[in-house]
Amino acid sequence: MIVFDDVWFSYGNREVLRGISFKADFHERIAVLGESGGGKTTILKLILGLIAPDNGKILIDGIDITSLKEEELIPIRRKFSIVFQEGALFDSLPVKENVAFFMRELLKLSDKEIYTRVSKLLSRVGVQEAEELMPEELSGGMHRRVAIARALAVGKTKMFLYDEPTAGLDPINSERIISLIKDLADKENIGFMIITHVVYVAWQLCDRFIFIKDGKIIFDGNKQELILTEHPSVREFIKELFFKIKKY
Ligand SMILES: Nc1ncnc2c1ncn2[C@@H]1O[C@H](COP(=O)(O)OP(=O)(O)O)[C@@H](O)[C@H]1O
Ligand SMILES: [Mg+2]
């Protein structure tokens, strides 16, 4: 479980989060929504202990991570499979070495075992043919899939974290990544938190929606509550949904 208890965070004198509180079970499918620059990625970084809050507590499985040392954070980070926004693959390494990278760092496996796992992971995300390619040879959609395979490589994943997983993808590839995210969660029976500013992506994948505005949570609820909300900023944000969904 993830618990944020009155979390405040600033970059220098730029106050980004101003008292964020929520509880999330690892099995949930949660979207964190809000405008660009609103502090969404900052929340992911805080969950992983990459940055520490100025005030407030962050508990992961009951452990307050805000005072942990770097090496104590490693088992915390391994509970998550993370796909950052840039998907950042190592440009100088072929796909298979990108996926193998953290396995080599963190797991005591032979080369043979590593490459067997790499092949399995790549076929799980549907790009087994890309093994020998360099990142620059990949399409945007393939790039994102390889980043997902790499995120899956080492974790005893309890939850997926995706930062803007469809950013920069055309509609067809967006749809494919959305189905992949869903399939992985269904098959492994693990939840995810997805950061996005595209409300329709969130709608297709999630059953809980958290909106951030001016450093605060202005909405936290399910689909029904989202559709019925009276909050003017949230309504403005979800306007586009009403054109796309017909069952409400
Ligand atoms: N490393 C940093 N140093 C200074 N400011 C930052 C840094 N990272 C992000 N910011 C600023 O903090 C705000 C929130 O950033 P972020 O969490 O990335 O927003 P979002 O993911 O919602 O677009 C933005 O105004 C951004 O410019
Ligand atoms: Mg961001």
Tokens for 81? 């499979």
Residue with tokens 């938190």: 193
Ligand 1: distance of its center to the CA of 42 in Å?
A: 7
Pocket residues for ligand 1 (CB within 6 Å)? 11, 14, 16, 34, 36-42
Looking at the structure, do residues 237 and 169 belong to the same domain, yes or no? yes
Question: Which atom of ligand 1 is the closest one to the Cα of 36?
Answer: 23
Q: Which atom of ligand 1 is nearest to the CA of 42?
A: 17
Q: Are residues 113 and 67 in the same domain?
A: no
pLDDT at 65: 96
Q: Which of 112, 133, 155 is the last residue of a domain?
A: 155
- What is the whole-number distance in angstroms between the Cα of residue 120 and the centre of ligand 2? 30
Q: Which of 102, 136, 155 is the last residue of a domain?
A: 155
- Same domain? 40 vs 143: no
Same domain, yes or no, for 33 and 144?
Answer: no
State the pLDDT at residue 155: 66
The answer to whether residues 53 and 168 belong to one domain is yes
Alpha-carbon gap, residue 233 to 170, rounded angstroms: 27
Q: Name residues of the chain where pLDDT drops below 50.
A: 248
Residue-level pLDDT at 215: 96
> Are 71 and 171 contained in the same domain?
yes
Say how many Å lie between the CA of residue 116 and the centre of ligand 2: 34
Neighbour count for residue 198 (Cβ, 10 Å): 17
Token pair belonging to 226: 């989202």
Domain boundary among 112, 132, 155: 155
Q: In terms of domains, do 70 and 188 share one?
A: yes
Q: Is residue 34 assigned to a domain?
A: yes
The per-residue pLDDT for 241 is: 82
Residues 97 and 146 in one domain: yes
Q: Which of 10, 15, 16, 214 to mutate to test the pocket of ligand 1 (most atoms within 8 A of CB)?
A: 16
Domain identity same for 34 and 63: yes
3-state SS assignment for residue 142: helix
pLDDT value at position 157?
85
Inside any domain, residue 127: yes
The tokens for 15 are 């106050």
Q: Whose CA is nearest to atom 13 of ligand 1?
A: 37
Q: Which atom of ligand 1 is nearest the CA belonging to 212? A: 22
Alpha-carbon span 141 to 169, nearest angstrom: 7
Query: In this structure, what CATH number is given to the domain that contains residue 241?
Result: 3.40.50.300
Judge if pTM exceeds 0.75. yes
Cα–Cα distance measured from residue 91 to residue 93, given in angstroms and rounded to the nearest whole number: 6
Ligand positioned closest to the Cα atom of 42: 1
For 63-108, the pLDDT digits (tens) are 999 989 999 998 999 899 888 876 678 889 999 999 998 888 778 8
**From ligand 2's centre to the CA of 134, what distance in Å?**
26
Q: Tally the domains of the chain.
A: 2
Mutate to test the pocket of ligand 1, among 41, 163, 213, 217 (most ligand atoms within 8 A of CB): 41
- Report the pLDDT value the prediction gives residue 169, as an integer from 0 to 100: 86
Say if CB 235 and CB 191 are below 8 A apart.
no
Instruction: Tell me how far CA of residue 35 lies from CA of 41, 198, 204, in angstroms.
Output: 11, 9, 19
How far, in Å, from the CA of 85 to the mean position of ligand 1? 13
Indicate if 44 and 147 belong to the same structural domain. no
Span from the CA of 240 to the centroid of ligand 2 (angstroms): 21
Considering only the C-alpha atoms of the chain, give the largest distance between any 2 of them, rounded to a whole number of Å. Answer: 57
Atom of ligand 1 minimally distant from the CA of 12: 4
Q: How many Cβ atoms sit within 10 Å of the Cβ of residue 186?
A: 9
> Which domain range does residue 145 map to?
91-155
